[in-house]
Structure 1
Amino acid sequence: MQIDLSGKRAIVSGSTAGIGFAIAQGLARAGAEVTVTGRTQARVDAAIEAIRQAVPDAGVSGVAADLGSAEGCQALIEARPEADILINNVGIFGPQDFFAIDDATWQQFFDVNVMSAVRLSRHYAQGMKQRDWGRVQFISSESALNIPSEMVHYGMTKSAVQSISRGLAKVLSGTNVTVNAILPGPTRSEGVLGMIKQAAEQEGVSPAEMEARFVAENRPSSIIQRLATPEEVANMSVYAASTQASATTGAALRVEGGIVDTMA
Protein backbone atom coordinates (compact mmCIF):
# COMPACT_ATOMS: atom_id res chain seq x y z
CA MET A 1 0.00 0.00 0.00
CA GLN A 2 1.35 3.39 -1.01
CA ILE A 3 -0.20 6.25 0.92
CA ASP A 4 -0.06 9.48 -1.07
CA LEU A 5 -1.44 12.63 0.53
CA SER A 6 -0.02 15.05 -2.04
CA GLY A 7 -2.18 18.14 -2.32
CA LYS A 8 -3.86 17.59 1.04
CA ARG A 9 -3.59 20.24 3.75
CA ALA A 10 -3.20 18.87 7.27
CA ILE A 11 -3.33 20.50 10.69
CA VAL A 12 -2.04 18.62 13.73
CA SER A 13 -2.81 20.29 17.04
CA GLY A 14 -0.19 19.97 19.75
CA SER A 15 2.47 18.64 17.38
CA THR A 16 5.80 19.93 18.67
CA ALA A 17 6.61 16.64 20.44
CA GLY A 18 5.41 13.12 21.14
CA ILE A 19 2.50 11.57 19.26
CA GLY A 20 1.51 14.83 17.59
CA PHE A 21 5.01 15.38 16.22
CA ALA A 22 5.20 11.80 14.94
CA ILE A 23 1.84 12.21 13.18
CA ALA A 24 2.91 15.52 11.63
CA GLN A 25 6.12 13.93 10.37
CA GLY A 26 4.25 10.90 9.04
CA LEU A 27 1.76 13.05 7.16
CA ALA A 28 4.59 15.15 5.72
CA ARG A 29 6.39 11.99 4.61
CA ALA A 30 3.20 10.97 2.80
CA GLY A 31 3.20 14.27 0.91
CA ALA A 32 0.69 16.38 2.85
CA GLU A 33 1.21 20.08 3.49
CA VAL A 34 1.39 20.04 7.29
CA THR A 35 0.78 22.79 9.82
CA VAL A 36 2.48 22.17 13.15
CA THR A 37 1.02 23.87 16.23
CA GLY A 38 2.34 24.55 19.71
CA ARG A 39 2.10 27.14 22.45
CA THR A 40 5.41 28.86 21.73
CA GLN A 41 7.08 29.94 18.52
CA ALA A 42 10.38 28.43 19.63
CA ARG A 43 8.84 24.97 20.03
CA VAL A 44 7.02 25.27 16.71
CA ASP A 45 10.19 26.34 14.90
CA ALA A 46 12.18 23.48 16.43
CA ALA A 47 9.56 20.94 15.34
CA ILE A 48 9.48 22.32 11.80
CA GLU A 49 13.26 22.08 11.56
CA ALA A 50 13.26 18.50 12.89
CA ILE A 51 10.64 17.43 10.34
CA ARG A 52 12.58 19.07 7.51
CA GLN A 53 15.72 17.24 8.57
CA ALA A 54 13.87 13.91 8.54
CA VAL A 55 11.84 14.68 5.40
CA PRO A 56 13.93 17.10 3.28
CA ASP A 57 11.14 17.85 0.80
CA ALA A 58 8.46 18.28 3.49
CA GLY A 59 5.87 20.98 3.06
CA VAL A 60 5.64 22.07 6.66
CA SER A 61 4.86 25.34 8.42
CA GLY A 62 3.61 26.28 11.86
CA VAL A 63 1.30 28.38 13.99
CA ALA A 64 1.98 29.22 17.64
CA ALA A 65 -1.23 29.45 19.67
CA ASP A 66 -2.73 28.30 22.97
CA LEU A 67 -5.44 25.98 21.71
CA GLY A 68 -6.79 25.55 25.21
CA SER A 69 -8.58 28.87 24.73
CA ALA A 70 -11.19 30.09 22.27
CA GLU A 71 -8.85 32.91 21.29
CA GLY A 72 -6.03 30.50 20.49
CA CYS A 73 -8.27 28.32 18.34
CA GLN A 74 -9.49 31.39 16.49
CA ALA A 75 -5.91 32.51 15.87
CA LEU A 76 -5.16 29.15 14.24
CA ILE A 77 -8.35 29.31 12.18
CA GLU A 78 -7.48 32.78 10.93
CA ALA A 79 -3.95 31.70 10.03
CA ARG A 80 -5.14 28.50 8.32
CA PRO A 81 -8.77 28.93 7.25
CA GLU A 82 -9.05 25.56 5.51
CA ALA A 83 -7.77 22.04 5.98
CA ASP A 84 -8.40 18.65 4.44
CA ILE A 85 -7.06 16.69 7.42
CA LEU A 86 -7.51 17.72 11.05
CA ILE A 87 -5.79 15.78 13.81
CA ASN A 88 -7.09 16.83 17.23
CA ASN A 89 -4.11 15.77 19.27
CA VAL A 90 -3.41 18.57 21.75
CA GLY A 91 -3.91 17.45 25.32
CA ILE A 92 -2.62 17.48 28.87
CA PHE A 93 -2.44 14.72 31.46
CA GLY A 94 -0.98 14.00 34.86
CA PRO A 95 -1.72 11.77 37.85
CA GLN A 96 -3.60 13.41 40.71
CA ASP A 97 -5.65 12.16 43.63
CA PHE A 98 -9.33 12.52 42.78
CA PHE A 99 -10.12 14.30 46.04
CA ALA A 100 -7.40 16.86 45.36
CA ILE A 101 -8.56 17.85 41.86
CA ASP A 102 -10.13 21.28 42.15
CA ASP A 103 -12.68 22.88 39.83
CA ALA A 104 -10.06 24.92 38.00
CA THR A 105 -8.10 21.79 37.09
CA TRP A 106 -11.22 19.98 35.87
CA GLN A 107 -12.03 23.00 33.70
CA GLN A 108 -8.47 23.25 32.38
CA PHE A 109 -8.45 19.60 31.30
CA PHE A 110 -11.84 20.01 29.64
CA ASP A 111 -10.83 23.19 27.81
CA VAL A 112 -7.56 21.82 26.48
CA ASN A 113 -8.49 18.21 25.77
CA VAL A 114 -12.11 18.56 24.69
CA MET A 115 -13.03 22.12 23.70
CA SER A 116 -9.96 22.58 21.49
CA ALA A 117 -11.16 19.62 19.43
CA VAL A 118 -14.75 20.86 19.41
CA ARG A 119 -13.80 24.35 18.25
CA LEU A 120 -11.42 23.22 15.53
CA SER A 121 -13.69 20.44 14.26
CA ARG A 122 -16.70 22.75 14.19
CA HIS A 123 -14.82 25.06 11.83
CA TYR A 124 -12.76 22.77 9.61
CA ALA A 125 -15.34 20.00 9.14
CA GLN A 126 -17.74 22.48 7.53
CA GLY A 127 -15.25 23.20 4.75
CA MET A 128 -14.56 19.50 4.34
CA LYS A 129 -18.28 18.86 3.96
CA GLN A 130 -18.60 21.59 1.32
CA ARG A 131 -15.68 20.15 -0.65
CA ASP A 132 -16.96 16.60 0.00
CA TRP A 133 -13.63 15.25 1.23
CA GLY A 134 -11.90 15.33 4.55
CA ARG A 135 -10.47 13.50 7.51
CA VAL A 136 -11.06 14.42 11.15
CA GLN A 137 -9.35 12.50 13.92
CA PHE A 138 -9.60 12.75 17.68
CA ILE A 139 -6.64 11.36 19.60
CA SER A 140 -8.38 9.64 22.48
CA SER A 141 -6.79 6.95 24.67
CA GLU A 142 -7.33 3.52 26.13
CA SER A 143 -8.00 5.59 29.26
CA ALA A 144 -11.33 6.49 27.66
CA LEU A 145 -12.38 2.88 28.29
CA ASN A 146 -10.18 1.96 31.26
CA ILE A 147 -10.59 5.12 33.34
CA PRO A 148 -7.41 5.32 35.46
CA SER A 149 -8.09 5.86 39.14
CA GLU A 150 -5.09 8.17 39.32
CA MET A 151 -6.29 10.29 36.38
CA VAL A 152 -10.08 10.37 36.47
CA HIS A 153 -10.17 13.88 35.03
CA TYR A 154 -7.98 12.82 32.09
CA GLY A 155 -10.02 9.68 31.41
CA MET A 156 -13.19 11.75 31.38
CA THR A 157 -11.85 13.99 28.61
CA LYS A 158 -10.79 11.03 26.49
CA SER A 159 -14.21 9.42 26.81
CA ALA A 160 -15.69 12.75 25.76
CA VAL A 161 -13.66 13.11 22.57
CA GLN A 162 -14.42 9.53 21.60
CA SER A 163 -18.14 10.30 21.95
CA ILE A 164 -17.76 13.49 19.91
CA SER A 165 -15.94 11.64 17.14
CA ARG A 166 -18.72 9.08 16.83
CA GLY A 167 -21.40 11.76 16.83
CA LEU A 168 -19.62 13.96 14.29
CA ALA A 169 -19.20 10.96 11.99
CA LYS A 170 -22.99 10.62 12.03
CA VAL A 171 -23.43 14.35 11.39
CA LEU A 172 -21.32 13.90 8.25
CA SER A 173 -23.18 10.78 7.13
CA GLY A 174 -23.29 10.31 3.36
CA THR A 175 -20.27 12.50 2.67
CA ASN A 176 -16.68 11.64 1.86
CA VAL A 177 -15.58 13.10 5.19
CA THR A 178 -14.55 10.48 7.73
CA VAL A 179 -14.25 10.98 11.47
CA ASN A 180 -12.44 8.56 13.75
CA ALA A 181 -10.93 8.31 17.21
CA ILE A 182 -7.42 6.93 17.67
CA LEU A 183 -6.87 5.16 21.01
CA PRO A 184 -3.20 4.91 21.98
CA GLY A 185 -2.06 3.16 25.10
CA PRO A 186 0.86 4.37 27.21
CA THR A 187 3.32 5.72 24.67
CA ARG A 188 6.97 6.74 24.87
CA SER A 189 6.11 10.40 24.44
CA GLU A 190 7.99 13.27 26.02
CA GLY A 191 5.37 13.65 28.73
CA VAL A 192 5.17 9.96 29.66
CA LEU A 193 8.94 9.54 29.70
CA GLY A 194 9.22 12.62 31.91
CA MET A 195 6.70 11.16 34.34
CA ILE A 196 8.57 7.84 34.40
CA LYS A 197 11.93 9.57 34.91
CA GLN A 198 10.54 11.49 37.88
CA ALA A 199 9.13 8.29 39.41
CA ALA A 200 12.45 6.50 38.80
CA GLU A 201 14.34 9.21 40.67
CA GLN A 202 11.93 8.99 43.58
CA GLU A 203 12.25 5.19 43.73
CA GLY A 204 16.00 5.14 43.13
CA VAL A 205 15.81 2.89 40.06
CA SER A 206 16.72 3.30 36.41
CA PRO A 207 14.19 4.79 33.96
CA ALA A 208 14.21 1.49 32.03
CA GLU A 209 13.29 -0.46 35.17
CA MET A 210 10.60 2.04 36.08
CA GLU A 211 9.17 1.85 32.57
CA ALA A 212 8.89 -1.94 32.83
CA ARG A 213 7.36 -1.65 36.29
CA PHE A 214 4.86 0.92 35.07
CA VAL A 215 3.52 -1.43 32.41
CA ALA A 216 3.49 -4.46 34.72
CA GLU A 217 1.81 -2.65 37.61
CA ASN A 218 -0.45 -0.17 35.84
CA ARG A 219 -1.33 -1.92 32.56
CA PRO A 220 -0.95 -5.64 33.38
CA SER A 221 -3.36 -6.64 30.60
CA SER A 222 -1.00 -5.27 27.94
CA ILE A 223 -0.33 -7.91 25.32
CA ILE A 224 2.80 -6.26 23.93
CA GLN A 225 4.08 -5.74 27.51
CA ARG A 226 5.81 -2.46 26.68
CA LEU A 227 5.12 1.16 25.87
CA ALA A 228 4.22 1.90 22.27
CA THR A 229 6.32 4.34 20.27
CA PRO A 230 4.88 7.59 18.92
CA GLU A 231 5.64 6.32 15.42
CA GLU A 232 3.48 3.23 15.95
CA VAL A 233 0.54 5.46 16.85
CA ALA A 234 1.31 7.79 13.94
CA ASN A 235 1.16 4.89 11.49
CA MET A 236 -2.48 4.31 12.37
CA SER A 237 -3.26 8.02 12.11
CA VAL A 238 -1.62 8.37 8.70
CA TYR A 239 -3.54 5.36 7.39
CA ALA A 240 -6.84 6.74 8.72
CA ALA A 241 -6.05 10.02 6.92
CA SER A 242 -5.46 8.28 3.62
CA THR A 243 -7.75 7.83 0.65
CA GLN A 244 -7.49 4.08 1.23
CA ALA A 245 -9.34 4.44 4.56
CA SER A 246 -12.49 5.79 2.90
CA ALA A 247 -14.82 3.21 4.51
CA THR A 248 -13.41 3.65 8.01
CA THR A 249 -15.49 6.18 9.92
CA GLY A 250 -17.16 6.46 13.29
CA ALA A 251 -14.56 4.02 14.57
CA ALA A 252 -12.38 3.77 17.66
CA LEU A 253 -9.05 2.63 16.24
CA ARG A 254 -6.93 1.08 18.98
CA VAL A 255 -3.14 1.32 19.12
CA GLU A 256 -2.93 0.30 22.76
CA GLY A 257 -1.11 -3.00 22.62
CA GLY A 258 -4.12 -5.07 23.66
CA ILE A 259 -4.61 -3.44 27.06
CA VAL A 260 -8.38 -3.18 26.66
CA ASP A 261 -9.54 -6.71 27.35
CA THR A 262 -12.59 -6.77 25.10
CA MET A 263 -13.12 -7.82 21.50
CA ALA A 264 -15.60 -5.05 20.62
Structure 2
Amino acid sequence: MDYGLAGRHVLVTGGASGIGLAVARAFIAEGARATISGLEARDVATALDHLGAGARGLACDLTAAGEDRRLADFAEETGPVDFLVNSVGIFEVRPFFETTDADWFHYFDVNVMTAVRMSRIVLKSMLERGEGSVVFISSESGVKPQAWMPHYGAMKTCLLGVSRALAELTRGTRVRVNTILPGPTETAAVRRYHEAIAAGRGVTREQVVADYFDETEPTSLIRRLIAPEEIAASVLHLAASPSLNGMAMRAEGGTIRSIL
Protein backbone atom coordinates (compact mmCIF):
# COMPACT_ATOMS: atom_id res chain seq x y z
CA MET A 1 0.00 0.00 0.00
CA ASP A 2 1.30 3.45 -0.91
CA TYR A 3 0.85 5.80 2.04
CA GLY A 4 2.21 8.77 0.11
CA LEU A 5 5.20 9.21 2.40
CA ALA A 6 7.84 10.04 -0.20
CA GLY A 7 9.91 12.91 1.14
CA ARG A 8 8.17 12.94 4.51
CA HIS A 9 10.16 12.89 7.75
CA VAL A 10 9.77 10.55 10.74
CA LEU A 11 11.53 10.87 14.09
CA VAL A 12 11.73 7.55 15.93
CA THR A 13 13.01 7.71 19.48
CA GLY A 14 14.57 4.44 20.52
CA GLY A 15 14.97 3.73 16.82
CA ALA A 16 18.35 2.05 17.11
CA SER A 17 16.90 -1.32 18.08
CA GLY A 18 13.80 -3.47 18.42
CA ILE A 19 10.43 -2.14 17.38
CA GLY A 20 11.80 1.35 16.87
CA LEU A 21 14.37 0.18 14.33
CA ALA A 22 11.72 -1.83 12.48
CA VAL A 23 9.47 1.26 12.39
CA ALA A 24 12.25 3.40 10.91
CA ARG A 25 12.90 0.73 8.29
CA ALA A 26 9.19 0.57 7.39
CA PHE A 27 8.98 4.34 6.89
CA ILE A 28 12.11 4.38 4.75
CA ALA A 29 10.67 1.58 2.60
CA GLU A 30 7.72 3.90 1.94
CA GLY A 31 10.04 6.68 0.76
CA ALA A 32 10.25 8.68 3.99
CA ARG A 33 13.38 10.06 5.64
CA ALA A 34 14.08 8.84 9.17
CA THR A 35 15.83 10.34 12.14
CA ILE A 36 16.48 7.87 14.95
CA SER A 37 17.83 8.10 18.46
CA GLY A 38 19.50 5.55 20.66
CA LEU A 39 21.23 5.49 24.01
CA GLU A 40 24.60 4.21 22.76
CA ALA A 41 26.53 5.68 19.82
CA ARG A 42 27.63 2.25 18.63
CA ASP A 43 24.01 1.05 18.47
CA VAL A 44 22.98 4.12 16.50
CA ALA A 45 25.86 3.61 14.08
CA THR A 46 24.96 -0.05 13.58
CA ALA A 47 21.29 0.84 13.00
CA LEU A 48 22.22 3.50 10.43
CA ASP A 49 24.31 0.93 8.56
CA HIS A 50 21.22 -1.29 8.36
CA LEU A 51 18.87 1.54 7.39
CA GLY A 52 21.10 2.98 4.70
CA ALA A 53 20.31 6.11 2.73
CA GLY A 54 17.56 8.28 4.10
CA ALA A 55 18.46 7.81 7.76
CA ARG A 56 20.23 9.99 10.30
CA GLY A 57 20.79 9.27 13.95
CA LEU A 58 21.84 10.76 17.26
CA ALA A 59 22.98 9.08 20.45
CA CYS A 60 21.26 10.73 23.39
CA ASP A 61 19.74 10.00 26.79
CA LEU A 62 16.23 11.44 26.79
CA THR A 63 16.06 11.20 30.59
CA ALA A 64 18.81 13.85 30.82
CA ALA A 65 18.10 17.58 30.86
CA GLY A 66 18.23 19.25 27.48
CA GLU A 67 18.56 16.06 25.44
CA ASP A 68 14.98 16.28 24.18
CA ARG A 69 15.68 19.70 22.67
CA ARG A 70 19.02 18.53 21.26
CA LEU A 71 17.32 15.63 19.50
CA ALA A 72 14.48 17.79 18.18
CA ASP A 73 16.93 20.38 16.84
CA PHE A 74 19.02 17.64 15.23
CA ALA A 75 15.95 16.16 13.54
CA GLU A 76 14.72 19.53 12.28
CA GLU A 77 18.04 20.30 10.59
CA THR A 78 16.65 18.44 7.59
CA GLY A 79 13.13 19.84 7.83
CA PRO A 80 10.00 19.60 9.97
CA VAL A 81 9.11 16.33 11.66
CA ASP A 82 5.96 14.95 10.03
CA PHE A 83 5.76 11.84 12.22
CA LEU A 84 6.95 11.24 15.77
CA VAL A 85 7.08 7.67 17.06
CA ASN A 86 7.82 7.49 20.79
CA SER A 87 9.51 4.11 21.08
CA VAL A 88 11.94 4.54 23.98
CA GLY A 89 11.26 2.00 26.70
CA ILE A 90 12.74 -0.66 28.93
CA PHE A 91 11.29 -4.09 29.50
CA GLU A 92 12.28 -5.84 32.71
CA VAL A 93 10.69 -8.57 34.79
CA ARG A 94 11.02 -7.67 38.45
CA PRO A 95 8.98 -8.86 41.45
CA PHE A 96 6.79 -6.18 43.00
CA PHE A 97 8.23 -6.59 46.49
CA GLU A 98 11.77 -6.17 45.18
CA THR A 99 11.02 -3.03 43.18
CA THR A 100 12.13 0.08 45.07
CA ASP A 101 10.84 3.64 44.81
CA ALA A 102 13.98 4.49 42.85
CA ASP A 103 13.19 1.68 40.41
CA TRP A 104 9.64 2.96 39.91
CA PHE A 105 10.83 6.50 39.24
CA HIS A 106 13.44 5.20 36.78
CA TYR A 107 10.85 3.17 34.85
CA PHE A 108 8.56 6.20 34.79
CA ASP A 109 11.32 8.47 33.51
CA VAL A 110 12.32 6.09 30.72
CA ASN A 111 8.97 4.67 29.65
CA VAL A 112 6.74 7.71 30.10
CA MET A 113 8.65 10.96 30.48
CA THR A 114 10.85 10.46 27.43
CA ALA A 115 7.67 10.37 25.34
CA VAL A 116 6.18 13.32 27.22
CA ARG A 117 9.31 15.41 26.68
CA MET A 118 9.55 14.74 22.97
CA SER A 119 5.83 15.25 22.42
CA ARG A 120 5.95 18.56 24.28
CA ILE A 121 8.38 19.85 21.67
CA VAL A 122 7.39 18.07 18.45
CA LEU A 123 3.61 18.04 18.91
CA LYS A 124 3.65 21.77 19.60
CA SER A 125 5.44 22.35 16.31
CA MET A 126 2.94 20.11 14.52
CA LEU A 127 0.00 22.04 15.96
CA GLU A 128 1.56 25.31 14.86
CA ARG A 129 1.84 23.95 11.30
CA GLY A 130 -1.59 22.30 11.48
CA GLU A 131 -0.44 18.84 10.47
CA GLY A 132 1.54 15.89 11.77
CA SER A 133 1.16 12.54 13.50
CA VAL A 134 2.37 11.14 16.82
CA VAL A 135 2.34 7.48 17.82
CA PHE A 136 3.05 6.21 21.32
CA ILE A 137 4.30 2.63 21.73
CA SER A 138 2.34 1.17 24.63
CA SER A 139 1.78 -2.55 25.23
CA GLU A 140 -0.86 -5.17 25.84
CA SER A 141 0.37 -4.84 29.44
CA GLY A 142 -1.27 -1.41 29.50
CA VAL A 143 -4.71 -3.04 29.61
CA LYS A 144 -3.71 -6.52 30.73
CA PRO A 145 -1.25 -6.03 33.59
CA GLN A 146 1.00 -8.92 34.57
CA ALA A 147 1.90 -9.68 38.17
CA TRP A 148 5.55 -10.31 37.34
CA MET A 149 6.14 -6.73 36.14
CA PRO A 150 3.48 -4.38 37.54
CA HIS A 151 5.80 -1.40 37.00
CA TYR A 152 5.86 -2.05 33.24
CA GLY A 153 2.10 -2.37 32.94
CA ALA A 154 1.54 0.80 34.97
CA MET A 155 3.82 2.83 32.71
CA LYS A 156 2.19 1.51 29.55
CA THR A 157 -1.26 2.33 30.96
CA CYS A 158 -0.03 5.85 31.64
CA LEU A 159 0.96 6.25 27.99
CA LEU A 160 -2.59 5.42 26.94
CA GLY A 161 -3.93 8.26 29.05
CA VAL A 162 -1.30 10.75 27.89
CA SER A 163 -1.88 9.88 24.25
CA ARG A 164 -5.64 10.25 24.40
CA ALA A 165 -5.39 13.55 26.28
CA LEU A 166 -2.96 14.96 23.71
CA ALA A 167 -5.26 13.85 20.90
CA GLU A 168 -7.88 16.22 22.35
CA LEU A 169 -5.50 19.10 21.57
CA THR A 170 -5.65 18.31 17.86
CA ARG A 171 -9.34 19.04 17.35
CA GLY A 172 -9.97 20.77 14.01
CA THR A 173 -6.42 20.27 12.73
CA ARG A 174 -4.68 17.68 10.56
CA VAL A 175 -2.60 16.59 13.54
CA ARG A 176 -3.28 13.19 15.06
CA VAL A 177 -2.13 11.33 18.19
CA ASN A 178 -2.55 7.59 18.62
CA THR A 179 -1.18 4.64 20.57
CA ILE A 180 -0.33 1.09 19.57
CA LEU A 181 -0.41 -1.89 21.94
CA PRO A 182 2.04 -4.58 20.80
CA GLY A 183 1.84 -8.04 22.26
CA PRO A 184 4.79 -10.35 23.04
CA THR A 185 7.34 -9.29 20.44
CA GLU A 186 10.62 -10.97 19.59
CA THR A 187 12.94 -8.09 20.40
CA ALA A 188 16.50 -8.50 21.65
CA ALA A 189 15.37 -7.81 25.23
CA VAL A 190 12.70 -10.50 25.07
CA ARG A 191 15.14 -12.97 23.51
CA ARG A 192 17.63 -12.35 26.32
CA TYR A 193 14.87 -12.88 28.88
CA HIS A 194 13.85 -16.20 27.35
CA GLU A 195 17.46 -17.32 26.94
CA ALA A 196 18.11 -16.69 30.63
CA ILE A 197 15.08 -18.78 31.56
CA ALA A 198 16.19 -21.53 29.18
CA ALA A 199 19.66 -21.62 30.69
CA GLY A 200 18.21 -21.86 34.19
CA ARG A 201 15.88 -24.70 33.24
CA GLY A 202 18.31 -26.54 30.99
CA VAL A 203 15.96 -26.41 28.00
CA THR A 204 15.93 -24.64 24.64
CA ARG A 205 14.66 -21.12 24.11
CA GLU A 206 12.06 -22.55 21.73
CA GLN A 207 10.71 -24.69 24.56
CA VAL A 208 10.55 -21.68 26.85
CA VAL A 209 8.52 -19.79 24.25
CA ALA A 210 6.17 -22.73 23.73
CA ASP A 211 5.68 -23.03 27.49
CA TYR A 212 5.06 -19.30 27.69
CA PHE A 213 2.00 -19.53 25.47
CA ASP A 214 0.76 -22.63 27.27
CA GLU A 215 1.23 -21.32 30.80
CA THR A 216 1.46 -17.52 30.74
CA GLU A 217 -0.38 -16.25 27.64
CA PRO A 218 -2.96 -18.99 27.00
CA THR A 219 -5.37 -16.44 25.51
CA SER A 220 -3.04 -15.73 22.58
CA LEU A 221 -4.75 -16.64 19.32
CA ILE A 222 -1.60 -16.69 17.20
CA ARG A 223 0.46 -18.53 19.86
CA ARG A 224 3.80 -17.17 18.77
CA LEU A 225 6.01 -14.18 19.30
CA ILE A 226 5.32 -11.26 16.99
CA ALA A 227 8.11 -10.02 14.71
CA PRO A 228 9.09 -6.36 15.17
CA GLU A 229 8.40 -5.88 11.45
CA GLU A 230 4.77 -6.89 12.00
CA ILE A 231 4.37 -4.27 14.71
CA ALA A 232 6.09 -1.71 12.47
CA ALA A 233 3.55 -2.33 9.71
CA SER A 234 0.75 -1.53 12.13
CA VAL A 235 2.55 1.57 13.41
CA LEU A 236 2.99 2.80 9.85
CA HIS A 237 -0.71 2.34 9.10
CA LEU A 238 -1.72 4.05 12.35
CA ALA A 239 0.66 6.95 11.79
CA ALA A 240 -0.23 7.56 8.15
CA SER A 241 -3.99 6.99 8.03
CA PRO A 242 -5.75 10.40 8.06
CA SER A 243 -8.94 9.22 9.79
CA LEU A 244 -7.27 7.57 12.78
CA ASN A 245 -7.01 9.86 15.79
CA GLY A 246 -7.30 9.43 19.54
CA MET A 247 -7.30 5.66 19.31
CA ALA A 248 -5.42 2.73 20.81
CA MET A 249 -4.71 0.05 18.21
CA ARG A 250 -4.13 -3.50 19.42
CA ALA A 251 -1.43 -5.55 17.71
CA GLU A 252 -1.11 -8.29 20.31
CA GLY A 253 -2.15 -11.49 18.59
CA GLY A 254 -5.50 -11.76 20.34
CA THR A 255 -4.17 -12.10 23.89
CA ILE A 256 -6.72 -9.54 25.12
CA ARG A 257 -10.19 -11.07 25.26
CA SER A 258 -12.17 -8.06 24.20
CA ILE A 259 -14.17 -7.02 21.14
CA LEU A 260 -12.95 -3.41 21.44
Q: When the two structures are superposed, what TM-score results if normalisation uses the length of structure 2?
A: 0.96
Cα distance in 1 between the residues matched to 2:20 and 2:4: 19
Equivalent position SS for 1:236: helix
Residues 19-45 of structure 1: per-residue CA shift (max 9 Å, x gap): 111001001111111011101111101
On the 8 A contact 1:182/1:255 being kept in 2, the answer is yes
Taking the aligned partners of 1:51 and 1:14, their CA distance within structure 2 comes to 14
Q: Secondary structure at the match of 2:88?
A: coil
* Deviation sequence 1:62-84 (CA, Å, 0-9, x none): 01101123332232123224411
Q: Partner residue of 1:256?
A: 252
Query: SS at 1:135's partner residue?
Result: strand
2:26 is aligned to 26
Number of the residue aligned with 1:231: 229
Q: Which residue of 1 aligns with 2:60?
A: 65
In structure 2, the gaps of 5 or more residues are none
Identical residues among aligned pairs (%)? 39
Aligned-partner Cα distance in 2 for 1:206–1:17: 24
- Give the Cα separation in 1 of the matches to 2:163 and 2:130: 18
8 A Cα contact 2:135 2:178, kept in partner: yes
1:178 aligns with 2:176: yes
Look up the equivalent residue of 2:68 and give its one-letter code: C
Aligned length: 257
> Does 2:8 match 1:13?
no
Asked if structure 2 preserves the Cα contact closer than 8 Å seen for 1:3 and 1:30, the reply is: yes
Which residue, out of 86, 97, 110, partners 2:95?
Answer: 97
AA aligned to 2:243 is: A
Counterpart residue identity of residue 171, structure 1? L
3-state SS in 2 of match to 1:86: strand
Which residues of structure 1 form unaligned runs of 5+?
Answer: 53-57
| Mapping 1:1-264, distance limit 5 Å | 1-52=1-52, 58-81=53-76, 82-242=80-240, 245-264=241-260
> Structure 2 CA distance, aligned partners of 1:67 and 1:250?
25
CA distance in 2, matches of 1:223, 1:21: 26
Q: Name segments (4+ residues, structure 1) moved above 4 Å.
A: none
In the aligned structure 2, how far is the partner of 1:147 from the partner of 1:70?
31
Cα separation, 2, equivalents of 1:181 and 1:74:
23
Mapped contact 1:69–1:116 kept (Cα < 8 A): no
Q: Secondary structure at the match of 1:205?
A: coil
Please give the alpha-carbon distance, in whole angstroms, between the structure 2 residues aligned to 1:233 and 1:70: 30
- Is contact 2:178-2:239 (8 Å) kept? no
